[in-house]
Amino acid sequence: MPCLRFDLHRLFPLYLDGAAPSRTTARIERHLLDCSACRARLVRMRDAKSLLGELPPLAAPAFERVMARAPRGERRFSFAVPSVLRHLAADALIATVLFAIFTLFYTHAASARNRQFDFSSFRALAVGQIAATDDPHVIVQGVVSQTSGDTDEGSHRFRLTDPHNPNAFVVCEILDGDPMTPPKPGSRVRVWGVSRYDPSPDHRWFEIHPVLRVEVLP
């Protein structure tokens, strides 16, 4: 079923360009935890952005040629509508649209709470391969260690290191409000989540954000 969070959809281009404020980014990624439709939408937008970037630039047509192809205006007849009728019609239309949106949103929210998460679209990668992939949905396996530096308030970070290459790591972040328990340092885990690069001056690392699932390995 399509997602009705139009307020977030219009922010997706900023999110893909890395230009969204941190609070907006957190809102979008918190929504991605439960919405497979929006995750698929982001994948399509990212693919379209990559495809458009490969197209050669085209010169805009001359203004005179554009205006020459424009249809000539035709004389139109109009009649006056009383302002009271216009206001009543507008109020009725707004009420109908709001009722339809509320009904669809309530139905979608109820079904989303009962829907099992689909992990079939996730790609398994080694920790060292995260920097070279464009896939947003990844599965990474490694050893847990604490993250040095600051920690965002309300979120939980841990570092996932490649057991065969201690210099290769990815930072995993569990969002605020997620009941998931962070794994203990030294444990071997498998992590499902959304890969991205954090360009903040004090970070500049690749990360799994948000973490969608953690499996502790023997």
CATH number at residue 133: 2.40.50.140
Which range among 3-12, 108-117, 130-139, 187-196 shows the weakest confidence by mean pLDDT? 108-117
| pLDDT, tens digit, 9 for 90 and up, residues 31-88 | 888 888 888 888 888 878 777 777 777 676 666 666 667 666 566 655 555 666 666 7
Name the band, by pLDDT with cuts 50, 70 and 90, for residue 124: very high
Which domain, by its residues, includes 49? 1-54+88-115
- Whose tokens are 């929210």? That residue is 109
Does a structural domain hold residue 80?
no
**For 202, phi and psi rounded to 5 degrees?**
-90, 5
Q: Is the pLDDT of residue 181 over 90?
A: no
Sequence-distant (≥ 6) Cβ neighbours of residue 11 within 8 angstroms: 20, 24, 28
Does a structural domain hold residue 205?
yes
CA–CA separation, 80 vs 162, rounded Å?
Answer: 74
Question: Cis peptide leading into 210, omega within 30 of 0?
Answer: yes
Q: How far is CA 83 from the centre of its chain?
A: 43
